[in-house]
Amino acid sequence: MTPETEKQLRKAWLKQKFGSWDYHEELLRLHDEYLTSLKRHWSDPELQKRHPGDYQGMISPVFFNLDRISKPGTIPRNSWKAGKETGWANTISYNFNRGMDYAGVNEYQELSGAERQRLNELVGQMLRIQENIRITVEDGWDDDDILDTDLTGPIDWPSNWMNELPAEVVAAALGPVSKSRPNVGAGEPCPAAGWWFTPAKADSRRYFRQGEVMPALGGDYGDTYWQWSPDQSAPRL
């Protein structure tokens, strides 16, 4: 496989991943973790008393809107399709620095530095996934941008990633593949049904069934070895 072919297949795999139900579920899982953490933080009655304005803002619009996002596992896999309505959580307004971008509401009120950093990291992951899905759905990747991890975020490539692609996608990228076979000596069974020939005799091309014993032709050439013919079409009459 050439480097260019591998690159094309990797791009196809990434588009398949970014448009998948599993990838969208990861976005919903991160969102649920983020929302649950904020609700736990704001469940403290003393915090609510100290910051009544922010608490009211968290009830609405923050929690009111974010509770409308689907929970992980609630969208059936067999009925889900990536699209502008379901392909990303487009009602979530994220911001790298402040979590949810709701003007006038400090949702991180009195959070520890470590917890603030953890939630901002969750937001960063969600932004990456959200953008990857959106650009894939809109077919908006330019050239090799989809391979740039500075744009997509880190990618966990499985060792058998190519096996996850549809066979027709791989076949189209690889183009015609020579179905070569090892040479088979006379007296050995034919390993695959098809047309074979031997340099031991001119015009020796013939069809063998799998398991059929390959014959020896003798002559001055020496031992007979049969080779898989590049031309697997039947002879014309």
- How far is Cα of residue 176 from the mean position of the Cα atoms in its chain? 25
What pLDDT, in 10s, does the model give residues 141-191? 998 999 999 999 999 999 888 888 887 787 777 665 445 568 899 999 998
The pLDDT, as a whole number, for residue 209 is 84
Residue predicted with more confidence, 34 or 180: 34
Contact 131, 24 (CB under 8 A): no
Nearest one of 133, 120, 150 to 27, comparing CA atoms: 133
Distance CA 101, CA 93 (A): 6
Distance CA 161, CA 10 (A): 8
Nearest one of 15, 4, 10, 23 to 162, comparing CA atoms: 10
The pLDDT, as a whole number, for residue 99 is 43
